[in-house]
Structures are given as C-alpha cells and as structure tokens.
Amino acid sequence: MTIELNNPKTVRAWYMYDWANSVYSLVITSSIFPIYYKAVAVSTDGDTIPFLGFTLKNSVLYSYALSFSFLVVAAILPLLSGVADYTGRKKFFMKLFVSIGSLSCMGLFFFKDINTLEWGIFCSIMASIGFSGSLVFYNAFLPEIVTEDRYDMVSAKGFSMGYYGSVILMVVCMTLILNYAAFGFASEGIATRFTFLLVGAWWMGFSMITFSVLPENPYGKNPSGKIWTKGYYEVLKVWQSLKDSPDMKKFLTSFFFYNMGVQTVMYLATLFGTDVLNLDTGKLIGTILLIQLVASLGAWLFARVSKAKGNKMALAIMIIIWIMVCLAAYVITSELQFYILAAVVGLIMGGIQSLSRATYSKLIPENTIDHASYFSFYDVTYNLSIVLGTFSYGLINHLTGSMRNSALALAVYFIIGLIVLSRIKARDVSLPTPNT
C-alpha cells in the first residue's frame, strides 16, 4: 500500500491533533490546574500536606507525581511501539492513550479538596500518561505523510495550531471562571473544575478529526504469531540500528539533557511564579497566554532559521538563550522582569520543540517503515528527561527551600546538551548525511 505524501487533507488532519491535545498542556499542565491544585492541596499546616503516609510540600508532591507519570510512559512505550509497528496499528494505540488522557482530565472534576487529594493526583498522573503516550504514535506519522523537505515547517505549523487552539479554550475557561455566577455555577471552584471537563471533551472531540483521516494501516501489514514477542524484536532491531547511527545517538543524548530544562520550565513555571514572586492568578494566566502566543511565532521563526542555517545551528542558538533564561530566573525580583523572561521563554519554547521533532525525523534511516519504534526512543528520551528534570527540580527545592536554586541547576542541563549537540558531525542536520 502506497501513501500519498504531502496530501493537504492528511496534513491538516495531522495538525488537528496538536490543536486537540495542546489544551491539556496549557490548562492542565501550565495554568489553571496547577493554580487550582495549589489552592486546594492545603492542610492546617498550610502547603505541607499528608499523602500516602508521607508529609511534604504540595509543590514537591506535584513535581514527584509528574516524574512518576513519565517514568511509567518510558517503561511501557518501547514495547507498545514495537507492537504498533509490527501490527500496523499506530492509530489504535494513539486512540487508546487519547482516551486515557481525556477521560482522566474529566475525572479531575471530582478533585474537590484535600480529602480527594489521592484521586486528584491519580487523575493528573493518568492524564499525563495519556498525553505523553499518544505523542509517540502521533509523531511517528510525520515522516509518513510529508516529504523530508517539509518536516521543519509542518512540525512548526503543528505546534502553532496547538498554541492557537489552546489559547481559544483557555479564554473560554477563564471567562467561565471569572464570571461563574453568570453561567450558573455556585462557586469559582465548581466553575474551575468544569473547565477540566471541557479540556477532556475538546481533546477527545477534535482528535476524532485526526483519526478519521490518518491511515489505519499505512503499510498494509498482516501480523501473525505472538505479536508481543514480535513487537519486542521490532524495538530490538531499531536499538541495534542505532549502533550504525552515531549522529542519532548524539542527538538523543543532547536532546535528553536540554529537554530536561525545557520541559521542567514548562511544567513548573507556574509554581515558580506563585512561590517565588507571589504573583496572583490573573497575572499568571496573562503571562501564560503571552507565552503561548509568542511560542507560535517562535516555531515559525526558527523553522526559517533552520532552513537558512541548518537545524544544528538553530537548536544551538535556542539552547544558548535557554541557558541565559535559567541564569536570569535565579536573580529576577520584579513582575516586569518575569514578564520579559516569559516572552523570551515563549519564543524559544515553540521553536525548540518543533525543531527537535523535525530534526529527529531527518535522522531516521531512509526507507524505514518502523517509525513508531524509532520515535519510541525519541519519546522515551523525552519522558526520562522530564522524570529527571522535574524530580531534580523538586528535590533541590525540597533540600534548599528555594526554587531559584532549582532554576539555576537547569542551566547545567542545557550546557551539557549544547556540548553534545556540537559533536554531531552532520554539516547542518538538514538532510541525512553518511557517517564520517
């Protein structure tokens, strides 16, 4: 079965999953839920709360929960992606994780107070697993629907669509929360929990557009025998092929370190604003919306930079800026400085995510059909980097009592990532090059 590359209908449907899932990233990960969590997860001792026999700060518990969710995903994805490649059922597994994630978002509606903390943490973990798990199969479609010369721009446009969609729902959610009485809600808390239902419905609903168009079994595979064993061998085959791809190994190592910093900033920036600078909810939400809108520009801008200077140079520029952001976060003291820093983060956040996905797609060997297995290594690297990043951030905060020290530590991760990236031999990582 041949796949028509660069088909506008297929590409638009692929974009729509970014539009669908990014509301989770904005509302649940970055803005409304973390703020709601901080307000609800309190005890008579303030921010110090009991959880499963332990006593710790609510922000530390949140970072540990995120770390656990990504560890679970990293453990199960390689085998599932191998099965997906062997059976040709990438879309089935993508649907499975979308269902887990979107329904878990809806389940957060029942997280009402400290008495339902365990349920809230469970749903937030499962939503994170659903989100992260779906991405490996979604990303694997990119090299199957467009030609290589379009990877950078298509990846960037996907992220841009996600930023636009998430901002639209975010505005709707904030309108409901700020005018809860006019919409028939008894309290701001109920209105806030209702937005979690909206996120789940939006995520699941718009995903249907993607699922209705993306091919079910693009290579017409007809599996037989023990599919789990065969799936394991699919992953093992890809793992062995990495021995002959030094640039891919170096890129994954570099990505591991700099993504530790990128994702930790994205997941925990809201807590930094509340704990360190004591910003109120309105100012935090405004800052997050600013980041989302600027991120779309960043994705487009650095796709242009990569076209002119190559992916490697574009990524290096962004990593250097990220290092400066971490150093600045250690010393900022005013709201204005926070807003300026947020704008810079937005610019490089969109660019580095879209370009990382596109760069890895270019490093996958030509004529392969095991895209899910290859992307499982990308996404395992992605998830393990978040595990270490969020865990170390929470641990340093726990040991030192200051998120500023945690932010400073992130700069080290970016520096390591930059050093490894500089060792990639490909001239510009804009086309596959033979090993040298």
Share of the chain above pLDDT 90, in %: 29
Q: Is residue 429 part of a domain?
A: no
Burial of 153-189, coded b for 16+ CB within 10 Å and e otherwise, reads bbbbbbbbbbbebbbebbeebbebbeebeeeebeebb
Share of the chain above pLDDT 70, in %: 87
CATH code, domain carrying 334: 1.20.1250.20
Mean local confidence (pLDDT), 340-351: 84
CA-based torsion, 414, 70, 247, 146: positive or negative: negative
Q: What is the structure's pLDDT at 435?
A: 40
Total of domains in the chain:
1
> Highest-confidence range of 1-10, 112-121, 222-231, by mean pLDDT?
112-121
Q: Is residue 286 part of a domain?
A: yes
pLDDT digits (tens, 9 = 90+) for 144-169: 888 888 888 888 888 888 888 988 99
Mean local confidence (pLDDT), 333-354: 83
Q: What is the structure's pLDDT at 432?
A: 41
Q: What is the structure's pLDDT at 200?
A: 97
Q: Is residue 327 part of a domain?
A: yes
State the pTM of this model. 0.79
Mean local confidence (pLDDT), 160-180: 91
Residue 261 has pLDDT above 50, yes or no: yes
Q: Is residue 436 part of a domain?
A: no
Pairwise pLDDT comparison (118 vs 383), residue with the higher score? 118
Q: Is residue 433 part of a domain?
A: no
Instruction: Give the integer Cα–Cα distance in Å for 162 and 70.
Output: 21
Contacts 24+ apart (CB under 8 A), 36-43: 36/189, 36/192, 36/193, 37/62, 37/120, 37/124, 38/271, 38/274, 40/111, 40/112, 40/113, 40/114, 40/120, 40/189, 41/114, 41/117, 41/120, 42/114, 43/114
Q: Is residue 430 part of a domain?
A: no
Q: Is residue 397 part of a domain?
A: yes
Pairwise pLDDT comparison (41 vs 111), residue with the higher score? 111
Q: Are 363 and 272 in contact (CB under 8 A)?
A: no
Q: Are 156 and 10 in contact (CB under 8 A)?
A: no
Q: Are 237 and 37 in contact (CB under 8 A)?
A: no
Q: Which residues contact 209 (CB under 8 A, 6 or more apart)?
A: 13, 16, 20
Q: Are 310 and 402 in contact (CB under 8 A)?
A: no
**Host domain of residue 259:** 8-421
Q: Is residue 227 part of a domain?
A: yes
Residue 276 has pLDDT above 90, yes or no: no
pLDDT digits (tens, 9 = 90+) for 381-428: 887 888 888 778 778 877 887 777 888 888 999 999 999 999 887 544
> Highest-confidence range of 55-69, 84-98, 315-329, by mean pLDDT?
315-329
Q: What is the structure's pLDDT at 427?
A: 46
